[in-house]
Amino acid sequence: MSGRAKVAIIGSGNIGTDLMIKVLRTAKNLEMAALVGIDPESDGLARAGRFGVATTAEGVDGLIAMAGFDEIDIILDATSAKAHEHNAARLAPYGKRLIDLTPAAIGPYVVPAVNLEEHLDAVNVNMVTCGGQATIPIVAAVARVVPVSYAEIVASIASKSAGPGTRANIDEFTGTTSSAIVSVGGAAAGKAIIILNPAEPPLIMRDTVLCLVDAPDPATHEEIRSSIEKMAADVAAYVPGYRLKQDVQIFPVPADQPIHTLVPDGAARPTHQVSVLLEVEGAAHYLPAYAGNLDIMTSAAIQVAERIAARKATS
């Protein structure tokens, strides 16, 4: 295990446990050091104990008090937005690198396929949301070809995959994702919608991305399609269950369609709509395969941690 960066995970629920198993089973540059929770009876802490991973049920204060805390390089926080604010403040004096899987957004938004290299030195990076990780790469893929006047994403996830933390953060989800559609995706304006689908058996994550663009030239349409297909492959490199559900659709915006309320004031009227349908199937390391919304968050966070660790090892 020598040469690997030591990792602690705060949050012993579904997301934290899946992160732990990914580190133990798949990580190349990471060593699992500790799992932190607040419920001593949680399945995650019990599972960590069986794996021989150090645990504490005393939250971030318990982590700071643990033997070996000084050796931990990276801390992944899988709690809640409010809890992360507290955790980040407590950890600030210790110089740890924080990867935030909550919508707290203290640090810069990071979507690995889009802007990871820009923020490798950031002390605290934010993983946006599951919908953001799935859809913002597509918005960015369109925006690198032609300006995007407006982007709208709809994330549909199985109700069973939305635990208490996800439900408590629903309001933050829409605000954080909408903000990142602009700041990371490159759209002039953005909106995010989440749907908790109660269907039985549970359906895997589905996402729809709609972009309004000024692209009258058919040659540009082919560039957009190629850019989206390449981006989908880039995301699938660290989220194997990520895929385009069908071919990219590009069609004219009807002259009588009232889109003036969507695009920024003074912007040229978009000529075309780009529609992309995505599907995200989970790797089922710990979470069920239908919980692609959680798997894409944990997979993206591990990708960030791996890159930070690899860079540290060569610096």
Q: Which residue has the tokens 């009258």?
A: 216
Among 91, 100, 102, 10, which Cα is nearest to 58's?
10
Peptide bond into 201 cis (omega under 30): yes
- CA angle 178–285–68, rounded 5-degree value: 90
Q: Spell out where the chain has E strands.
A: 5-10, 30-36, 54-56, 72-77, 97-100, 124-126, 148-158, 190-197, 205-213, 242-244, 249-252, 272-280
User: Judging by beta carbons within 10 Å of its beta carbon (0-12, 13-18, 19+), is residue 43 exposed, middle or buried?
Assistant: middle
The single-letter DSSP state of residue 264 is P
User: Are the CB atoms for 286 and 23 separated by under 8 Å?
Assistant: no
Q: Any catalytic annotation for residue 130?
A: yes
Bridge partners of 192, per DSSP, are 153
- Cα–Cα distance, 314 to 29 (Å, whole number): 11
Q: Which of 5, 106, 130, 228 is catalytic?
A: 130
DSSP sequence for 90-159 = HHGGGT-EEEE-STT--S-B--HHHHGGGGTT-SEEE---HHHHHHHHHHHHHHTTS-EEEEEEEEEEEG
Q: Which residues contact 62 (CB under 8 A, 6 or more apart)?
A: 36, 56
Catalytic (active-site) positions: 130
